[in-house]
Each structure stands twice: as structure tokens, then as C-alpha cells.
Amino acid sequence: MNDAAGLIFSNIHDRNIPELTHKRTMASVPYGGRYRLVDFALSNMVNADITKIGIITHYNYQSLMDHIGSGKDWDLSRSSGGIKILPPFITAFDNTTGSVQPYSSRLEAIIGAYNFISRSTEEYFVLSDCDTVCSIDLRDVIDFHIENHADITIVGKNTFLDRADASSYTIIETDGKDRVTNLLHNPSNVYGNVNVCLNIFVLKREYLENIVLDSLARGYKSFTKDIIARGKDTSKFMMYSKFDGYYASIGSLDKYYKSSMDLLNKDIKENLFGVKNRPIYTKVKNSAPVKYLDGSLVQNSLIADGCVIEGIVENSILFRGVKVGKNTVIRNSIIMQDSFVGDNVVLNCVISDKNAVIKNGRCLSGHETHPFSIGKGAVI
């Protein structure tokens, strides 16, 4: 059992997909028919025997609290340890608006969680964002950190990126032996085979406490620029490069769409959800089985429990409780929980948020690089 606690950032990249985070955190964005994005970070930690986890919130976190509940679905409903929702930490007062300002960066979020960190007894901390979809063996990452006597271990993956894609990632540069020499945040002149930061970090609790105290004393704001960039020559930062599984960074609506469509590939789905001893847990709901009525046809799609289908569904993902009307055709689309799609509707490359109503006869189409988005609870 690893002597480690976990810290998850629920809101760090909300602004990347405002279409889906307008009324929720990044952590509670639905994914894959029955999951939320936070399920991956939580499950990775639980599968590594991490049983004390704090989730740092910012705003719009009611749906996250509803999803997490007591933590029992992740075996985290415990009197000692378990899961803790850490409320927003106020970092400043805006005199112009008369309002208080929550944290605006990863480092400020860590500072706000100082009490949780300092009162923990675990020797190590694993930090993780919610916008990285992967199934990773965190036990091995922690062992790598310990064996290399690292101050901070950063999980990276060698990936081919074109110039446009690289500008939305943090790129790790090393000395060829996995020691970090630089971190490039959203570079504009880097492309090709690069080491992408998966925003998963391991460090000693004591080192994390010192980061907080030093940052308060010096007025540091950025984990990447003020901690990693400033400390790379005097501290030992290592990159864990052994992760070779599937990953997706949900950095925009089109990347969310692409990652979701990837799940229709059996190999990718197996790589995420079928890894031995590394299940992805989520909130359990008791729903009726899918009903396929006369005239229905489903091909290469993920259909969750409780759906009622009378039309055609191809290359699509339907969440729990979706109703599809007669003579309706849904292709290459993502329809979230409890949405209603009427009769004689045609959808292509559409992302429909929860509880949407698409009226009879509607014809809506986007493109795989620019999917058509329907808001939560919208009637269209």
C-alpha cells in the first residue's frame, strides 16, 4: 500500500469548454455514456490504494457533489480518510466590483488547500487535473518517484503534435534520462514528437508544504513558471515516461468530441475500461434496460441503460434515459442523459447536453472539428 494522499483540481480548465462547463465543473462533465471526467482521476488514485482524496472546487460544483455523494461508489465512504470536497479559497478582494475572487491558478488552489495538506499524515501527494482521460498505474509512478529521489515527478507521454495542437499543451523537455530541464506552457513554435504533460504530479507532502509557504512569502502565482521553471536547476524534477496507454486531454469542445468518438473503437475502449485490476468506477444508478422498439436500428454505438429507441442510431453515444423518436436518424453524435429527440429528426455531429428537447422534424448538423452544441435543458 502506498503511503500517499490525493488532490484533484476540479475547475482548472473550465474555460476550455464553456459549452459544457457553464453550469458545472470540468470534473462533472459527462463522458462515455455513464461516466464523469472526475471518475478517471478518482479511479486511478483508488486503484493505487490512495484512500484519502481532496477535491478542490471553485464554483458550479453542485453537480459534482451530487455525483460524488459520500464516495461509496469509489469505496471512499470512510470515517478515516475518504473523500473531501474542499470549498473555494478566496485569494483577493476586488475593490472595483466589491466582490471576492476565488483562486485563478493551480498554485493558488494548492495554497487554498494548505490545511488539508498539512493535516494529512501521508508521506506523498498525487496531484491530478480532471481533463485528462486515461487509466494509469499510479503505484508505479509513486515507486518511480521514490526510486529516483525526485522532488517532483511529472507524468508525460511522447506524442506527435502539429504546431497548432502543441500551443494548447504543456511540453516537457528532458536531458534524455527523464530529468526535467524545462516546461514550455502553450508554446507556439514546438511541434513533432514531444513529451506532453498529463498534469499528474507526485511529490512529498513536506515538499508540497514548503512550496505553499515559499509561494506565500514570494508572491508566486504559477506552478509551472514559478515552481518548475525557477526550481529546475536546484531541485530534481523527473518525468515518468513509461505510460503507454490511451490518453486524451479535453482542451476544447472538438477534443471532447474526438475523445468521445474514440470510445467507439474497441481497442481504445478496452485500453481505458478493460485494464486488469484498474477499473474505472462511477456513480451506480439502477436503470431499466434499453428498449429497442419497432423501426429501431443501432450500429457501432454506445447505448446506456434506460434509453428508448424507435429510430436509427449510428456511430453515436447515448447516455442514460435518452428517448429517440420514430423515423429519427442520429449519426456521429453525443446525446446526454434524459434528453428527448422527437420524431423525424436528423442529427449529425451534434453534442446535446442533459435534459435537452429536440422537437419533431429538426435537422441539425455540425462537423467533427466543429460539432453542433445544444445546451443543458435547451428546447430546440
- Separation CA 206–CA 123 (nearest Å): 8
Q: Which tens digit of pLDDT belongs to each residue from 129-139?
A: 999 999 999 99
Q: Which tens digit of pLDDT belongs to each residue from 34-47?
A: 999 999 999 999 99
Where is mean pLDDT largest: 54-68, 213-227, 339-353? 339-353
Kindly tell me if the per-residue pLDDT of 196 is higher than 80. yes
Q: Which tens digit of pLDDT belongs to each residue from 89-102?
A: 655 444 444 444 55
Task: Kindly state whether residues 152 and 22 are assigned to the same domain.
Answer: yes
Task: Kindly state whether residues 42 and 189 are assigned to the same domain.
Answer: yes
Residue 285 lies in a domain: no
Domain range holding 255? Answer: 4-273
Kindly tell me if the per-residue pLDDT of 80 is higher than 90. no
Task: Kindly state whether residues 304 and 230 are assigned to the same domain.
Answer: no
Asked whether the whole model's pTM tops 0.75, one would answer yes
Task: Kindly state whether residues 51 and 152 are assigned to the same domain.
Answer: yes
Comparing 208-222, 336-350, 358-372, the range with the smallest average pLDDT is 208-222
Task: Kindly state whether residues 315 and 217 are assigned to the same domain.
Answer: no
Residue 283 lies in a domain: no
Output the average pLDDT for the chain: 92
Task: With beta carbons less than 8 A apart as the criterion, state whether 264 and 315 touch.
Answer: yes
Residue 190 or residue 317, greater confidence: 317
Question: Which of 241, 273, 305 is the C-terminal boundary of a domain?
Answer: 273
Per DSSP, the three-state class of 191 is: coil
Task: Kindly state whether residues 68 and 108 are assigned to the same domain.
Answer: yes
Total number of domains constituting the chain = 2
Q: How far is CA 161 from the centre of its chain?
A: 20
Task: With beta carbons less than 8 A apart as the criterion, state whether 239 and 199 touch.
Answer: no
Residue 281 lies in a domain: no
DSSP conformational letter for 73: G
